Amino acid sequence: MARLYSRRRSSKANENPAQFGTSFSGNRLSEAFNRKELVGDIITTWKERATDRPTLVFAVDIAHSKAIIEDFVDEGIAAAHLDAYTTADERERIIDAFRTGEIKVLSSVNVLGIGFDYPGASCAILARPTLSEALHMHQMGRAIRKAEGKTDAVILDHAGNTLRFGLPEHFEVPDLGKAYISRPRRSARTRTTPSAAA
């Protein structure tokens, strides 16, 4: 079972997706999401909803990921950042520390979304909006995998991805013999909490 908390915003983070381009990339996206009030909101929500859960964060870019981790560390929470420039030895050390619980929160841009394997993670923070349903499902999938002693997972959606695509149970496996067009899952049952940001 996955419990979802999604944050509504009345800020640049709620701008029309088309204004960012088809891939949600570029400086405008970074400017919209890498702001102190939004990063702080991530920490507050995690402390309210997912304290002590092994947590994976999916950030907009390297600067955003590092800013999120800096705020977790400032709150006394063991957290680390990974990116494509992290050496193999350092990456292995960080991932091992996450698996053993020495590090509670692990953040990245593209490193953790696909191929990362630790079923014990039970919280995903979606801090990066995407127009890719596949990427959205991969990111949530990092937290909802079954593991011994694990009863549920928490998805903290700070990017509106679940409002666009829904939860894993809303995913429709495409018929490869037919054209498939991804569409928003507006029927997704979500618990939306108002943003702390003005």
Parse the chain into domains and list their residue ranges. Answer: 2-194
Print burial letters for 139-152: b (CB count within 10 Å at least 16), e (below 16). bbbbbbeeeeebee
Look-up of token digits 């940001």 = 197
| Mean pLDDT over the full length of the chain | 76
Interatomic CA distance for residues 28 and 17, integer angstroms: 11
pLDDT greater than 60 at residue 170: yes
SS3 label, residue 8:
strand
Please choose, from the candidates 96, 109, 7, the residue with its C-alpha nearest in 3D space to the C-alpha of residue 56. 109
The structure's pTM equals 0.74
Q: Which CATH class is domain 2-194?
A: alpha beta
**φ, ψ for residue 155 (rounded to 5)?**
-110, 115
pLDDT per residue over 9-38, tens digit each? 434 444 444 444 445 555 555 555 555 545
**Predicted local distance difference test score (pLDDT) of residue 172:** 67
Range name among 7-16, 79-88, 142-151 with the lowest pLDDT average: 7-16
3-state secondary structure 69-109: HHHHHHCCCCEEECCCCCCHHHHHHHHHHHHHCCCCEEEEC
pLDDT greater than 90 at residue 73: yes
